[in-house]
């Protein structure tokens, strides 16, 4: 908000001065409340007195009395015909933040609902944050949670942001740009998501003017000049459409519309066009009586001007997620001019302009308002779900920003249900949109009856069926290509939980090993020892302590000694901790280093890395040579379990003579010993004579690898073969 420079809150003055009855802005505001009951208008007058007194002495940076800002915000809500509670909350939306007025005082004077709305709009100024970004994320989370409980919170916030953007001339240029960037990134997409199309365009254009003032002025001048140059052409198209509607016996309102400055600028930037190359600056809107007439009007237009193939979109049959409905078509007009036309009913037009606010504005219109309320409620519920699985405010903020996509693709479930997903969404996003369990256990997708990888991007009209397996789990690799905040949140939550459980198991194993090395049976450790360790570490349970050990946050040897009375916490003479036995299948808590790719049979050593768990290397790995010498305390002895029961990746390098069928013979040799090929790449040496083949193969251990190498040496064309390390 554009606030007064005063750093301390202004106390509420009980002797509030009289209403400025002569003030034109206040008179216009009161006149705009004619849709409310007289007693409600009287309560709003009292709220104005209360807010005016609370902000007494405060001024905006422009020098105006501060009350002019809440009055303008309340006026915007009156335009949407919001109820009295919302209008009162708009008048008081800054009193808790900027004055000493409390939530209890507001609740006593104007009711609990108003107090909750004002509280949802107040920033968390009393809490210390590490950074501006952290404060922004936490304030945003608070607002969205309040919005999930009551949609009026975000409508007041959006009206507040609009007025701030309209009156920021006195604010520092860097702060103007920061607020404008935040608006483009968060508040404009929220307005779009709620179907507030008119407000969405206003927020975008005002933000654009604050971020790039010179570009906005140049573009506006070019648009004005273009408007004059094209006036005759536009009049001809408008007359042609109106005449065609009359000839077809269709009663319709036809009017031209101009693209917003920001949408023109974005098109120029994204497609590298000059202003003169952006031909679809103007479009036309046809508003008719009912849905069947929309399709009649479409047919009439297609007989007037030729349609552009592939440019027709039916958002009536399949509405956008924000409730928007219209028929969109692109036509080739006079002189080859492209013409965009939108066809819709009156109620669709209300929803397209005002979105969820149309629920208050046009209560007697078709059921589209109620339907939109339902869709919005579902979206808000999904935000509450994200909130429950997000680790902190910043992560939640990231998930929500991802979900505020303006473009969508519409896909079908096997039963024909339509689902809207952001453009670029994959089969994994779809699986999580259906149900968390389906996402967590998906292994493949059948798209339009064909088996496809999970990373496949979805297209409009795709029909999807997700194939699941009980043993399957989410992969960290999915995070690199999913698009929806819901999928990202659910995958991260699963991986964190899995890592936590696996790390706890590893930590328990390591601690028990240390206790045995000290000559103590782990089951005989007294409860007082555990209580002392948990008190020192701040852990709530033994599992928390185990997890800290498994993740490298605490040393098992230190914890083991603290668990024991001082006289017992000594190594028996000559004893050393036994080597940690691993299978290599423990999951995320134990990682096999990619540099040396250890396999059973290799001599191995482990390093506990803070927050990552145990990383296992071969003894002779060149990557760790330096750190083993300089930081020996960070390394622990590790051994393979006799029968790990898993295949491990290993790299081999083969130099072979160029000959027909050599790759097939090598692949057969690998297959004959029961090994799998995970990956293969080639590079040519001595052109025409030799080729170097790099394989990643899967073996059960060192003995299996030796058997594989012997098998490949029997291939006549193989000149040299060796295990590869980075």
Query: So which residues are the catalytic ones?
Result: 97-98
| Helical (H) or strand (E) element with 270 | helix 261-271
Which DSSP state fits 554?
Answer: S
Cα–Cα dist 212/206, whole Å: 10
* DSSP codes of every residue in 9-27: PBPPPSSPPPP-TT-HHHH
Residue 679's beta-bridge partner residues? 696
Cα–Cα dist 175/173, whole Å: 6
Cα 423 to Cα 408, 409, 430, 586, 726: the distances in Å are 5, 5, 12, 37, 39
DSSP tally for the chain: helices H, then strands E: 29, 20
Which DSSP state fits 457?
Answer: B
Which residues make Cβ contacts (< 8 Å) with residue 711, sequence separation at least 6? 669, 670, 672, 673
Cα–Cα dist 429/447, whole Å: 13
| Helical (H) or strand (E) element with 139 | helix 132-149
Tell me how far the alpha carbon of residue 2 is from its chain's centroid.
29
Say whether 567 sits in a helix, a strand or coil. Answer: coil
Q: Of 580, 607, 579, nearest to 593 (Cα)?
A: 607
Cα–Cα dist 469/481, whole Å: 21
Residue 441 contacts residue 457 (beta carbons within 8 Å): no
Burial category of 20 from C-beta neighbours within 10 Å (exposed 0-12, middle 13-18, buried 19 and up) = middle
- Other Cβ atoms less than 10 A from the Cβ of 311: the count is 12
Q: Where are the alpha helices (DSSP H) in 518-637?
A: 527-537, 542-550, 556-563, 625-630
- Residue 276 tokens read as 């003169």
588-609 per-residue burial string, b: 16 or more CB within 10 A, e: under 16 = bbbbbbeebbbbbebebbbbbe
| Sign of the dihedral defined by the CA atoms of residues 559, 560, 563, 566, in that order | negative
How does strand 690-699 pair with strand 648-657? antiparallel
Residue 431 contacts residue 450 (beta carbons within 8 Å): no
Q: What are phi and psi of 373, to 5 degrees?
A: -60, -40
| Tokens 């328990």 sit on residue | 508
Residue 718 contacts residue 654 (beta carbons within 8 Å): yes
Burial category of 574 from C-beta neighbours within 10 Å (exposed 0-12, middle 13-18, buried 19 and up) = exposed
| Tokens 């902190």 sit on residue | 392
- Other Cβ atoms less than 10 A from the Cβ of 571: the count is 13
| Tokens 């050599």 sit on residue | 662
In the chain, what is the greatest distance between 2 CA atoms, to the nearest angstrom? 106
């Amino acid at each position: 908000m554009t606030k007064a420079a005063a750093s301390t809150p202004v106390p509420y003055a009980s002797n509030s001065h009289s209403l400025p009855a002569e003030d034109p802005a206040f008179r216009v505001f009161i006149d705009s409340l004619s849709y409310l009951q007289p007693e409600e208008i009287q309560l709003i007058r009292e709220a104005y007195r209360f807010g005016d007194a609370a902000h007494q002495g405060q001024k905006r940076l422009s020098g105006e009395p501060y009350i002019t800002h809440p009055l303008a915000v309340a006026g915007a809500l009156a335009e949407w015909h919001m109820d009295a509670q919302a209008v009162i909350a708009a008048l008081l939306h800054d009193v808790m933040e900027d004055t000493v007025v409390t939530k209890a005082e507001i609740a006593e004077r104007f009711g609990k609902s108003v107090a909750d709305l004002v509280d949802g709009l107040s920033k968390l100024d009393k809490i210390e944050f590490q950074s501006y970004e952290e404060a922004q994320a936490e304030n945003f989370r608070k607002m969205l949670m309040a919005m999930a409980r009551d949609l009026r919170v975000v409508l007041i916030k959006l009206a507040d942001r609009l007025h701030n953007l309209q009156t920021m001339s006195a604010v520092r240029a860097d702060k103007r740009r920061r607020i404008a960037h935040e608006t483009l990134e968060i508040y404009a997409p929220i307005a779009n998501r709620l179907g507030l199309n008119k407000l969405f365009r206003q927020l975008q254009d005002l933000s654009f003017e604050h971020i790039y003032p010179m570009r906005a002025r140049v573009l506006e001048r070019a648009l004005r000049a273009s408007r004059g140059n094209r006036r005759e052409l536009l009049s001809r198209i408008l007359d042609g459409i109106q005449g065609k509607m009359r000839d077809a016996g269709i009663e319709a309102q036809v009017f031209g519309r101009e693209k917003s400055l920001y949408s023109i600028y974005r098109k120029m930037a994204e497609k590298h066009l000059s202003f003169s190359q952006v031909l679809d600056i103007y479009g036309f809107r046809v508003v008719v009586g009912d849905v069947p007439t929309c399709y009649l009007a479409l047919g009439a237009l297609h007989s007037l001007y030729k349609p552009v193939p592939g440019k027709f979109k039916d958002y009536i049959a399949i509405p956008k997620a924000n409730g928007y409905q219209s028929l969109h078509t692109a036509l080739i007009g006079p002189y080859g001019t492209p013409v965009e036309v939108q066809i819709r009913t009156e109620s669709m037009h209300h929803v397209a302009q005002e979105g969820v606010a149309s629920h208050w504005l046009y209560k007697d219109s078709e059921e589209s308002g109620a339907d939109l309320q339902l869709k919005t409620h579902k979206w808000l519920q999904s935000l509450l779900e994200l909130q429950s699985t997000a680790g902190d405010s910043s992560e939640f903020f990231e998930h929500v920003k991802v979900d505020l996509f303006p473009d969508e693709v519409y896909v079908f479930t096997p039963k024909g249900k339509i689902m809207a997903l952001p453009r670029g969404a994959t089969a994994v996003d779809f699986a999580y949109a259906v149900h968390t369990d389906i996402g967590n256990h998906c292994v493949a997708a059948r798209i339009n009856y064909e088996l496809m990888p999970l990373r496949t991007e979805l297209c409009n009209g795709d029909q999807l069926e997700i194939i699941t397996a009980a043993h399957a789990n989410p992969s960290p690799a999915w995070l690199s290509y999913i698009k929806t905040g819901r999928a990202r949140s659910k995958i991260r939550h699963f991986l964190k939980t899995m890592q936590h459980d696996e790390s706890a198991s590893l930590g328990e194993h390591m601690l028990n090993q240390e206790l045995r090395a000290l000559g103590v049976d782990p089951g005989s450790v007294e409860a007082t020892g555990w209580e002392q360790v948990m008190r020192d570490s701040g852990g709530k349970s033994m599992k928390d302590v185990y997890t800290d050990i498994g993740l490298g946050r605490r040393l098992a040897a230190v914890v083991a000694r603290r668990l024991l009375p001082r006289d017992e916490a000594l190594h028996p003479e000559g004893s050393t901790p036994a080597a940690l036995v691993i299978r290599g299948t423990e999951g995320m808590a134990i990682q096999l280093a990619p540099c040396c790719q250890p396999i059973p049979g290799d001599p191995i050593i482990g390093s506990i890395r803070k927050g990552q768990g145990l990383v296992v290397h071969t003894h002779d790995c060149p990557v760790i040579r330096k750190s083993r010498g300089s930081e020996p305390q960070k390394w622990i002895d590790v051994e393979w379990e006799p029968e790990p029961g898993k295949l491990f990746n290993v790299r081999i390098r083969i130099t072979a003579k160029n000959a027909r069928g050599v790759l097939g013979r090598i692949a057969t040799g690998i297959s004959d010993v029961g090994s799998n090929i995970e990956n293969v790449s080639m590079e040519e040496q001595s052109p025409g004579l030799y080729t170097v083949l790099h394989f990643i193969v899967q073996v059960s251990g060192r003995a299996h690898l030796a058997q594989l190498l012997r098998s490949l040496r029997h291939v006549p064309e193989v000149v040299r073969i060796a295990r590869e390390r980075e």
